[in-house]
Structure formats: C-alpha cells, structure tokens
Amino acid sequence: MPIKNIIFDFGNVLIDLDIPKTVQELSKFLGTEVPETLRNHLDETVFNTFEVGGITEDDFVTALQQVAKTPASKTAIIEAWNAMLLQIPSYRFTFLTELKKDYRLFLLSNTNETHLRWVDQYLQRTYQSSIENFNRHFEKAYYSHLIQLRKPGVEIYQYVLQDAGIQVNETVFIDDNYQNILGAKAVGLHTIHLGVEEEVIETLPKFLAQYQID
C-alpha cells in the first residue's frame, strides 16, 4: 500500500528547538533544584493543561509566578518559555512545497498560544510571512491547544485521521519524541522516529522511497 499522506510533528522536525534553554531560563525563577512533586504538578496542571487550551496565557504565567522563588514579570516568564524556539530553515519550506505536489501534508503539534505567537512573529521578521502562510504548506494544521487533545494520547491521532478523512495504512507520522511515536503506532500509523542528529529532508525521502505512489 503506497503512502499518500504525511503527518509532521513541528518541534525538532520543522522548527529547531533547544528545550534545555527554556529549562535553564525558567530555573532562574523556579530554582535549579525543583522538587519532584512540584515538577509533576507543573507538568500535569500547568504545562500539559496549557497545551490543550485548558488555561489561558495569563493563567499559565500566574501559575509559574506563584511557585517562583524570586519575583518574575509576565514578560520575563514568556521570554523564558520561548527561549527553546530557534529557527525554521528556509530549505524546509522548499522541501514541503515539493512534497505537496505528490502527498497530502498535515501538521500535528503539541503547542500553545504563546509559542505560536512567537512563530508568527519570527516568520514576519525573518521571511515577511506569517503563521497563516506557514499553515498553507499543509492541507490542515492541528495544534493541540486548539483541538484540546495532545500527543501521545491515541485520541489525537484518531481525531486527525477522521477529520482529514485519511486511511491509517496510507499515512506516515514523523516525530522526534518516541512516546509520540508509540501513540501513533497504537492506532496503526506508519511512523518515523527522527533522531537527534537526523534531518527531515534526508530521512523522510528514504522512507517514502519504499512506498511509491501508484
């Protein structure tokens, strides 16, 4: 069965990330030794909830301010939160444009309103573009905070498959997070786990060569 559809993760597949940078910047407010109970609390009730649109940006900032060891302004927290976001090289746009000629492309990202606003501003100042123009590289872009689901829950993959009207055995999902790969495998998707040193424009074509469209 040929591959007809490609679902891309965003972070560390299309946009370069440095997650430790955000950890480093947030530690200036939260402290370098965050207790496990607090870390778990932040993951479950703040970070993950923000990614499914369960809290607003103001709620997110307030939650971090409440556990900060030193006073932190909204601007400082947002800058720390965005510190992980680096760049989208232009050659990846070219890659998507070429792929779109032969495949149906989709984007599936765990993200939040703050990060998407940064991406929009980055695209404006770097490429005189916008998030709306970026989304046009795909038949549809699915952002976790807008659909209120997040990877690796199987529900988000099922949602995309049904909403897009695509067949699981004709679709490949590419992500750098192995837990997200496991979630995709659970619903029967073909998967590519993109390694730290791998580049999507090299790895994906090698996979697709095995599944030529009729």
Q: Where are the domains of the chain?
A: 5-17+87-208, 19-82
- Residues ≥6 apart with Cβ < 8 Å to 46: 55, 60, 63, 64
User: How far, CA to CA in Å, does 165 sit from each of 139, 140, 211?
Assistant: 11, 12, 20
Share of the chain above pLDDT 70, in %: 96
**What pTM was computed for the model?**
0.95
**Over 70: is that where the pLDDT of 203 sits?**
yes
- β-strand pairing of 104-109 with 85-87: unpaired
Stretch 137-145: mean pLDDT: 99
Domain 5-17+87-208 in CATH 3.40.50.1970? The answer is no
What are the CA-CA distances from residue 29 to residues 91, 132, 156, 192 (Å)? 37, 34, 33, 37
Q: Higher pLDDT residue, 124 or 37?
A: 124
- Tens-place pLDDT, residues 97-115: 999 999 999 999 999 999 9
Fold of 19-82: DNA polymerase; domain 1 (1.10.150)
